Amino acid sequence: MKKLPLLLITLLFIISCKEATTNKNNELKREPNSFAIVIHGGAGGIKKEYFTEAQQTAYTQKLQEALNAGYVVLENDGISLDAIQAAINIMEDSPLFNAGKGAVYNSDGNQEMDAAIMDGNTLNAGAIAGVNHIKNPILAARMVMDSSKHVLLSGKGAEIMAAKYGIEMVDSSYFFTEKRMNQLKKLQGKEKTELDHTAFLIKNELIDDHKYGTVGAVAIDKNGNIASGTSTGGMTNKKYGRIGDVPIIGAGTYANNLTCGISATGTGEYFIRTVAAHEVSSLIKFKGYSPSEALHEVLFNQIGPLGGEGGMILLDKNGEVFWDFNSSGMFRGYKKSTGESKVEMFAKTN
């Protein structure tokens, strides 16, 4: 009988050692020098019947170009912050997306753009909101992070500092696109009850639901550091200096090496109210949720019941890619050092 306690102690010791080894292995799951990048170009009423073959090709090619731009940085030993910046720059320079060149108009017929970036290694972050003349808002967000003591700068102050640090400024005419102007006119000509959850075709060209439209990227570099960034023109016909979730760290943008990096897109007010991106990270860290479970919980059980729609991309600490959305589609794609790559627009596959 005296041997029984000793046997139990031995068994418990063996089990604890096994669990410790398993945990250690999980921590080391990411292959050395591996890297990955995942991007999105907005979520919302994205259905195949709304797009011609030519439009599908255009979006696919531009998303792939953005992925390639970020991937090259990572492949050449660059840091994740530079990789997501490169990817987002490509989408900001394209009129296809609601960010930078393709930013939507507010109710006064101007653009008010927001952007944010976060370093998962240091938890340092930078964001700008309500700017009109910064060609690439993500560069200004990076400037705030790297060159100021602040996290979020808005409006004129953000533009003054951006110009001081040599970030390219442009006249408001740079952001003009006929597509976005037609979208504004169409929305302003309708009653509010006719606007919710709709998409319009003008001159055989998709006019996105006014609530959606953002670009974002998350990357992990060869050193295992995660970074996330997001840029948007916000909501078509928005009023009163409205600011969405994108520049609110923890709502639309978040990165933490201990868990994951996230960029969100959708009805920003609901992502702010649920602190969506941070909530996903917290569910992984404190509740033991898998990334897929955490994304589903926040999108479908927290944001959805409030009336919000949208999606999120996620890259975890092991370099695994995840995404989910409760809207009909989301422009998205990823590219990994394993050679695996994918670009999608419509029905959910993850």
Q: Which residues are tagged catalytic? A: 214
Phi and psi dihedrals of 315, rounded to 5?
A: -125, 120
Question: 265 labelled as ligand-binding?
Answer: yes
- Sort 1 into a burial class: Cβ within 10 Å, 0-12 / 13-18 / 19+: exposed
- Cβ atoms of residues 225 and 119 within 8 Å: yes
Alpha-carbon distance of 41 to 258, in angstroms, equals 26
Question: 138 labelled as ligand-binding?
Answer: no
Specify the length of the chain in residues: 350
Per-residue tokens: 161 = 């500092």
- Cβ atoms of residues 145 and 119 within 8 Å: yes
Sign, Cα dihedral of 21, 23, 29, 35:
negative
Question: 122 labelled as ligand-binding?
Answer: no
Per-residue tokens: 54 = 């030519």
Based on its alpha-carbon atoms, the radius of gyration of the chain, rounded to whole angstroms, reads 21
Question: 130 labelled as ligand-binding?
Answer: no
Alpha-carbon distance of 308 to 299, in angstroms, equals 8
Alpha-carbon distance of 7 to 190, in angstroms, equals 77
Question: 266 labelled as ligand-binding?
Answer: yes
Per-residue tokens: 13 = 């010791």
Question: 332 labelled as ligand-binding?
Answer: no
Question: 267 labelled as ligand-binding?
Answer: yes
Q: In what order do the strands lie in the sheet with 253-256?
A: 253-256, 260-266, 310-316, 321-325
Question: 307 labelled as ligand-binding?
Answer: no
Alpha-carbon distance of 72 to 87, in angstroms, equals 10
CA distances from 47 to 41, 136, 198, 312 (A): 14, 28, 11, 18
- For the chain, strand residue ranges (E) read 36-44, 113-119, 125-131, 152-154, 200-202, 205-207, 215-220, 226-232, 253-256, 260-266, 310-316, 321-325, 329-336, 341-344
The binding site comprises 242-245, 265-268
The binding site for substrate comprises 242-245, 265-268
